[in-house]
Amino acid sequence: MWDRRTRARAREETRMGKHVVLVEDETNIAEAIRFLLSRDGWRVETLANGGNAAQVIRAARPDLVILDVMLPGKTGFEILAELRCEDSLAELPILMLTARGQSRDRERALAAGVSRFMTKPFSNDEMVTAVRELTSGTVS
C-alpha cells in the first residue's frame, strides 16, 4: 500500500529531469516561478531577454517553455512564431504569460500555436497545475 510519502516520492521521481526554460524579464516574477517550480522538482533555466531565446530553447530541448509576451529583444509572439516554424519544436508545450490579459493577445497567441495562456497575477497553484498538465497531460 502506498502512503503519502511514497506517492510524493513517486511524483518527484517522475518529474526529475523535467526541464523548463522560463523567458521572463521581470526579475521578481522570474525568481518566484523559478523557486516555485524548483521546489516542485523541476530544473528551471531562466532568460531575461527574448533576443536569443529561440536559440537557447533549440539547444536546450526543454520539456516546457514559459514565455512572457512583453520582452526586450524579441516579443513572446515573435519567439513563439519562430519555434512553431520548426518541425522538431512544433509540439513543444509553451505557456505564455501576460500582464495585459487582453482578449486580442490571447487570440493572437492561440492562433500562433501557444499551448496555454495565463494572465498575471496568477496563484502558485495555477502555475504548478499548468506546468504539470502541459508536461504530463494530467492534473496532479
Domains belonging to the chain, first-starting first, are 10-131 (3.40.50.2300)
Phi-psi region of 10 (alpha: psi -120 to 50; beta: other; left: phi over 0): alpha
Q: What is the pLDDT of residue 89?
A: 94
30-43 pLDDT, tens digit per residue, is: 999 999 999 999 99
> Where do the H-state alpha helices sit in 16-115?
27-39, 53-60, 76-84, 103-112
Q: Are strands 64-68 and 19-23 parallel, antiparallel or unpaired?
A: parallel
In the prediction, which pLDDT does 42 show? Answer: 93
Q: Which residues of the chain are modeled with pLDDT < 70? A: 1-16, 101, 137-140
pLDDT tens per residue, range 93-119: 999 998 876 788 889 999 999 999 999
User: Which residues sit opposite 48 in a β-bridge?
Assistant: none
pLDDT at site 105? 86
pLDDT at position 16 is 56
Please, are residues 48 and 24 in contact by the beta-carbon 8 Å criterion? Answer: yes
